[in-house]
Structure formats: C-alpha cells, structure tokens
Amino acid sequence: MSKQDSSMQAPAPVGFAKGLTNYGDREFSVYLRRTFASSMGYSREMLDRPIVGIAHSASGFNNCHRHFPEMIEAVKRGVLAAGGLPIEFPTISLGETFLTPTSLKFRNLMSMDVEEMTRAQPMDSVVLLGGCDKTVPAQLMGAASADIPAIQLVAGPMSTSRHRGERLGACTDCRRFWAKFRAQEIDANEIDKVERRLASTAGTCAVMGTASTMAIIAETLGMMPANSAACPAVDADRLRIAEETGRIAFDLIGKPIRPSEIITAQSVENALRVLLAIGGSTNAVIHLTAIAGRLGIQVDLNRLNALSESTPVLVNLKPTGEHYMEDLYAAGGVPAILREIKDLLHLDCRTVTGETLGDRLHDVSWVDHAVVKPRAEPVRETGGLVALFGNLAPRGAILKRSAANPDLFEKEGRAVVFASLEDLAHRIDSDDLDVTADDFLVLQNAGPTSDAAMPEAGYLPIPAKLARAGVKDMVRMSDARMSGTAYGTIVLHITPDAASGGPLALVRNGDRIRLSVAHRTLELLVPEAELERRRAALPVRAEVTAKRGYAQLYEREILQADEGCDFRFLKP
C-alpha cells in the first residue's frame, strides 16, 4: 500500500460502529445495531458519539454500593459534557458479608465478567465503579487483562456514627464490641444497640480495611484521579469526583492510556510502599499480586520485607491508629501521604490523567499531621506488614505488625490445633479446651484450595475462658485471610496451604512453633523425619471434587496466595 493510500484510510470506528456483531455484512451489522439502539431513545447525534462504558457492581446484596445510582448519574454528566455517550452496564457484585463461603472465591469470576464485557461490548473507554473489598481488585484485574483505556472510581468510605458519646465506624469497632460481648463486658441488649449504629451510611468500611486500602492502592497505581480514594461516600465531593472521572474517561478516547502503561513494575512498587505506609490490609498483598500478575509483573515477598524496613507507618487510622477515613480526606488524602515519602517513590510513573505521580504532589497545600504523621514522627518506624518464611511457610506468610502486639513478636509456643473452621467453631469456647495465653492457636484447612476457599477466618477469636480472664491478644496462625479491619498478632496466608498438603497440614497438638518477626521466620520445631512420616500419612486428596460449574473451575485453576489466588489460565 502506498503512503497516499495509507493516509486515505478511514478512521478507526468508535462507539456503536466498533466491535460489531458478526453477520457477515459489516454495513448490515451497523444498521441493525443502530436500529435497536434507537429503540432506547438515542438521537442521531448521540448514536454517532464515542462511548464511555460504566461498569458498575451495584446490587441489593451490597450495602456499600447503595448510592451508585447517584454516582452513575454524575459520571454520565461528565461524559456528556465532554462530548461522549455514557452507557452503564452491570457486572457481578461482591457484597463482602453476603456471600458464602467467601467473597474471594468469586473475585476471579467477577474479573472475568469485567474483562469480557468491556472487550465484547462497543465502548471506547470504561469507568470501573466499585468499592467493596473484592470489587476493586476484580475490576482492576479485568481491566488489566482487557487493556482498553480504563479509569477506576470507588464508592468512598462510610461516615462515622455515634453511640453513647463514642464515635463508631465499621468495622474495627464491630470487632472491638464483639470482643467485649464475648468477654461478657457488655450484654446482649448493648450489642444490639451497637449493631444498629456501626454502619449507618452508604460506602465502604470507615477504617483502613481492605476496601480503603485498595482504593488508596488504585490511586497510587495511577488508575484514579488524585485525592479521590478517601473522599466519603456521602460527601458532595464524591459526586464531583464522579463527574470528573467521566470527563477523564472521555479524554482517554482521544489520548488513550492503557492499564498496561499505568500498572508497571515501578507503580506496583509504589503501591507496596504506600500499603506499608498506611498500615493497610493484608488482603492487599493478595490483590495487588493478582492485579500485577495479569500483566506479568511479580510481587516478591522478599522485596516487600526490604521495603518494609525503610517505609514508616504514617497514617494514624484504625485498626493501627485512632482516626477514620473521613479524617484522612480532611487531612489531605493520599497526596499528603505520597508527599511524605516522595523520596521513596518512582515519581515519574504515568497516571490515567496523563500527569505523573510526582505532578500530583504540587497541589498539597495543607496536611493535618494528627492523621498523616510527618516522616520524622511516624506512627511506627517500619512498615505495617512483613512476610515470614520457614519450614512452616516455605513460600511465605504475612503478619500485620502495625496492628499486633510487639511483645509477641519473638516467641515460642505450644500449638493448639483446629483442623477446620467447623472444628474451631465447635471447640474454641469450650471450658475443656486445653489452652493458655502463651499457646499458639493454629487453624488448618482454610486456605485457597480448601472447601472454605480462604475466608477472613484468620482472626481466630480468643478462647472464651481466656477472654473472660482478660486476655486481649495471643499468637494465632492459619492459611486463611483476615479482614483489613481486624487487629492482633495473627499470621496469615501460610503458603502452601494445608488442603494442598503444605507443612501447615502436618502440625499436631503440642508441637512447638517459633515465631521471629525480627528474623522473618516461622518454624515448626519438629524433626524432619517425623514430618516426613506425617506427610506420608496424609490422606490423598482428589484433584477435583466439585461436579460442575464454577466450583469445578475454581478447584482446577486456583493458585496459592503467593500468586494472588488468581486462576492459572488467566495469567499471561
């Protein structure tokens, strides 16, 4: 083809003219599509416009997202004002407390939904509207795989409530009051009143839980506008952010920036730095690993440890500190955090708006240092998370040290083993349970390959008789996850998990275990010969036990925690 012929090529199709249903006649496909689009009342002008898709996860089973209709309208305003046609469409919704056995089991399914629907339907860019814990990771995973221009928009955190003069916010305070109830410090009438006040607005948990952590990570990665992660769900600024997001999504059509240009090895390292600085959720390690993995980027737990040594915890929010997400927004938001550690970041990383991460720091004019501590006066001098390795966790485990008791960081204890979640529920509150505060509670068969599918069950309750005696914390460990809103000296994500035959499956009651946060080790103090004998006696597990459907796909393809619990066939 000559240069002249090349220059005369028709422009690439946009809007309803792209990604056509194949009838073997392109013109007919356009004609038929516009015919049915016309039935929705679109004018000819609108039918000719580029399309911004709005992928949202609203559902009657997702309390965090009940304000999405208003947010969607704000996004549409931004798109229309910029000259595009906004079209919303639903995807799977993952309401954290409404799913069984756990929302993580369906995160990958939602990511597939997002990937396929953004690729299959005619859109030139897409707004990803989510918020609740697994929705944002699923959307970012799907967007990374589809790799069409995309921008993230989050629900925003709940606002706090009041009870007897005390400020409350889901869900660290949920756990605090439940611990009081279990210890018989408050009665059933009081816990019933508290239940009605803990979550009183739309939005995600008001503390530095998984939803807040993933919103901050999305902003740090560059997939969201600056200072958009912490804005409360009910604030008018949240609607202005939504409108601006719609405008940016339209701009991405003319100047496309794809997720693969934003989510890079450098921006992922920035996200790890900020995860450590905010004392963020342990779940974020799994989710960030999965998001990065969709683009062939590895998250190395040894690198996490190295970063943790030089990254202070600066954000004074529950469960690590005392404030709430609405306070972080008022204090300067994510840009304020980034500015404090800017010498540790790759500031030249590109963002969805076209600016660099460094560009976003110039508008930080004021910071409330009661909430975002100055570098010289951190909440903790080292990062909130550490990875542990040893013969009990050959491929790693995670401890949120910023929410744990340092007195338990260097400790050897006797294992009190629970073989399953059912075993835990049956025996944990028995007065006959042989346990002391110096023991290590060990939960098996709650990892990704178990029937439980890695729920947030790692926050093992203090045995009732110890709770009544005033015990507030003890070493607990499992292959499960823990809510980002939880606290305590808890070792999580032990990999490989017990159900796959990992070393955790070999632990028996009375075994000695040594934990060393200083040396990043987790060791089962049992001779290797005895471990081999136990390993040989493990029952042979069938590769796939589910008879059909998604459960069978999950069993066949699920990877371990150190690979983000993604599906094998979804990685590049």
Complete DSSP assignment for 352-389:
TTSSBTGGGGTT-----TTTB--TTS-SBSS-SEEEEE
Q: For residues 3-36, b (16+ Cβ closer than 10 Å) or e, as one string? A: eeeeeeeeeeebbbbebbeeeeeeeebbeebbee
Domain spanning 385-541: CATH 3.50.30.80: yes
Distances from the Cα of 192 to the Cα of 62, 188, 196, 482, angstroms: 22, 6, 7, 24
509: number of Cβ within 10 Å: 12
Average pLDDT of each block of 10 consecutive residues along the chain (572 residues)? Answer: 55 91 94 95 96 97 95 98 98 94 96 98 98 96 98 96 87 86 92 90 94 98 97 98 98 97 98 97 98 98 98 94 95 96 98 96 90 96 97 98 96 98 97 98 98 95 95 97 92 98 98 98 98 95 85 96 98 92
Distances in Å between the Cα of 462 and the Cα atoms of 188, 397, 421, 430, 438 are 19, 21, 15, 12, 12
Integer Cα distance of 558 and 560 in angstroms: 7
Predicted TM-score of the model (pTM): 0.95
Question: Among 544, 545, 571, which residue's Cα sits nearest to residue 559?
Answer: 571
Q: Are 232 and 327 in contact, with CB atoms under 8 Å apart?
A: no
Please, what sign has the CA dihedral across residues 206, 152, 482, 275? Answer: negative
Nearest CA to 131 out of 53, 209, 195 is that of 209
CA angle 282, 286, 289 (to 5 degrees): 130
Residues near 423 by beta carbon (within 8 Å), at least 6 away in sequence: none
Domain positions in the chain: 49-158+201-361, 173-198, 385-541
Task: Give the integer Cα–Cα distance in Å for 339 and 347.
Answer: 10
Please report, in angstroms and rounded to a whole number, the separation of the first and last CA atoms in the chain.
Answer: 34
Pairing between β-strand 125-130 and β-strand 150-154 as defined by DSSP bridges: parallel
CB burial string 398-407: b at 16+ within 10 A, e below = bbbbbbbeee
- Distance, in Å, from the CA atom of 198 to the CA atom of 64, rounded to the nearest integer, reads 13
Angle at 159 (CA atoms; ends 99, 163), nearest 5 degrees: 95
**CATH classification number, 49-158+201-361, choose in 3.40.50.300, 1.10.40.60, 3.40.50.2300, 3.40.640.10:** 3.40.50.2300
Q: What is the pLDDT of residue 541?
A: 80
SS3 content of the chain, % helix, strand, coil (to 5): 40, 15, 45
**For position 216, what pLDDT does the model report?**
98
110: its two tokens = 């939602």
User: What is the pLDDT, as a whole number, of residue 398?
Assistant: 98
CA dist., res. 497 & res. 392, Å (int)? 10
Q: What is the CA radius of gyration of the chain?
A: 25
What is the pLDDT, as a whole number, of residue 289?
98
Give the contacts of 311 (CB within 8 A, at least 6 positions apart): 273, 276, 277, 341, 344, 382, 383
The answer to whether 50 and 253 are in contact (CB under 8 A) is yes
The pLDDT of residue 267: 98
In sign, the C-alpha dihedral spanning 97, 557, 142, 213 is positive
Q: Where does residue 24 fall: left (phi above 0), alpha (psi -120 to 50 degrees), or beta otherwise? A: left
